[in-house]
Structures are given as structure tokens and as C-alpha cells.
Amino acid sequence: MRMPANWFPGLTLVLVLALAWHPAPGAEDTAHKPLVTADVLAASKPSDWRPLDPQNTLYLELAGGRVVIELAPRFAPRHIENIRTLVRERYFDGVPIVRVQDDFVVQWNDPEGSRPLRSAEHAVPAEFMSAARGIPFTLLPDPDTYAPIVGFSDDFPTGRDPKTGRAWLVHCYGMVGAGRGNDVDSGNGAELYVVIGQAPRQLDRNITLVGRVVQGMELLSALPRGAGDLGFYAKAEQRVPITSVRLAAELPAAERLPLEVLRTDTPTFADLVESRRNRRDEWYKVPAGRIDVCNVPLPVRMRPGTASAH
């Protein structure tokens, strides 16, 4: 075990430095602020965590287990309303994963295109960008290759352009988007994809992102890669069936997973980011001093005191 942790192992606090990322509002006693990721999370308060909204939570069931997706309705309200309709009308039950392209995406859709959309829209106008005004935003201070500024809104990674006043979700690992044809307004949420490699940021502002995987990512990322063009499975029998997709709100409350995400508008999150910009466990010798928006962990946990259903 000679490689460092990418997450939070039992790390040792080596340096207690008051190198605040940016002044964390409400952070008291910076001299004793925990600066290793595991310590930051251990010191978090219940109010630092936000339960998932059952109306914005999808349970995608595979033979291997459950994938949980959190939807981002502020950025893609029309696509998400259509996805909710598709889910309620059981459009996705039995739809297969048809494409796994290494270092790019996992994608599912009706391969024959014969499944009726029923009361869902056939085409939803593009939701590539939103007006930034009024959207909460926690700035990440480091330069980004693709966007003028980056940070977090509603606990999703986002980019912004102060000149145009636009904001958009960005294509990090685990982000979920809605496929479209060449017409920008041709997507409808019936075809979805999940990023499984290096962030394909060239897709930003070209396609509608609708959310992110918050649990079960490894059930998608470890699927066999498709040998056909663009990573499509060459043979129909290689496709991976989705048993069902449900909105958490469709399940009785007792059957919903008590998942919580760390709020990105908290001092705890600012500490977390700083703990990742400058690693302080003994293994690291040269702290990066910077972090890419897609390298910032967005922690998810089961609400403490609940039995793990997974």
C-alpha cells in the first residue's frame, strides 16, 4: 500500500497551517482548523449536509446493483420534467446500456427507437446554459482551461462567463447528460449518458447536462467497453439491461436511501477544497496549490444513524 489515497483514508495530520483557501465565513479558530480531508469531513456539522430531494433523485436498477442520480433542475428544468414523465410512465424499464466508450461515456437508450414516448415531449429546447444571475455560486479560485471561472452551484460543478452572464454545468466524471442529434433542440432525456473518463469539457455548452451520479458509479464505469464504433456494443446480447428507473419520490419514504451531499456553500466545503488543493498528509511532498473543478470531491454519505441499505 504505497500509493496515496484519492479519497479519505486514515490519514495523519502532519501540518496544521492556517493557509485558508479563501476566508471561510464563520470559520472560527483557523489555527486549529483541520486541513486533511478526513479530518474536515469528521469535523463537519449536520447542517453542512443536504438530504437529496426525492423529486430530484433517480434510482437506476441494474442486475449488479443500484445507481443513484441526482438531478439538477435549476439548470435543466424542461429536460428534467420530461425525464420525470418518462420515468413515471416506465419508459426506461428494460432500456439497455448500449454504449460504453473508454475514457468517454456510458450511454443508454432504446436501440430500436420504437418505444413510445407517450406523454413525454419528443424534443425539448436546449438547456446548455442559464442566466447566472440569482444562481448561488461558490467560486473556485484556480484557473480553468475551458471556462473563465468555475465553481459550484447547488452542489454541482459549474462554469461561468461574467462577460455574458451565463452559467453552465460542466462535464466532470460522473456527470449525466441528455443526448441530442445535430439539432440543438432535439434532445428529450430518453437517451442519457454518464461521463466515465477524463472530463470531456469540449461538450460543455454543447449539450444539456441534467445531473450527476451520487452512488453506484462503479457499476457503470467498470462495464465492458463496446467494441463497435464509438464504443457501442457490437452485438445486441452484450447490452446491459436496466431493470427499472424510479424517482425516489415514487417509493414509500421508508424505502428511499437516506443519502446526503455535502453543501458546497459551507465553510466545511471551503476547508475540504483547501485540503485537496494542498495535500498535507505525509506522502505528498509538493502540494499542487491548485485544483481542477473536476478533481474536487463532492462527498455523499448515508445520513448518520441510518442503517446502510447498500
Query: What residues line the site for a second copy (CB under 8 A)?
Result: 1-7, 9, 99-105, 107, 109, 128, 142-146, 172-174, 179-182, 184, 186-187, 191, 193, 197-207, 217-218, 221-225, 229-230, 232, 276, 279, 282-288, 290-292, 294-295
Name the E strands within the chain: 49-51, 57-62, 65-71, 96-101, 105-108, 130-131, 138-140, 149-153, 156-161, 166-169, 175-178, 192-195, 208-215, 240-247, 259-262, 300-302
Q: How many CB atoms lie within 10 A of CB 102?
A: 11
Q: How far is the CB of 204 from a second copy (least distance, A)?
A: 7
Q: How far is the CB of 57 from a second copy (least distance, A)?
A: 21
Q: Which is nearer to a second copy, 223 or 247 (CB)?
A: 223
Q: How many CB atoms lie within 10 A of CB 78?
A: 17
Q: Which is nearer to a second copy, 72 or 192 (CB)?
A: 192
Q: How far is the CB of 246 from a second copy (least distance, A)?
A: 24
Q: Which is nearer to a second copy, 171 or 256 (CB)?
A: 171
Q: Which is nearer to a second copy, 247 or 293 (CB)?
A: 293
Sheet of 300-302: strands edge to edge? 49-51, 259-262, 300-302
Q: Which is nearer to a second copy, 16 or 146 (CB)?
A: 146
Sheet of 156-161: strands edge to edge? 130-131, 166-169, 156-161, 149-153, 138-140
Q: How far is the CB of 73 from a second copy (least distance, A)?
A: 22
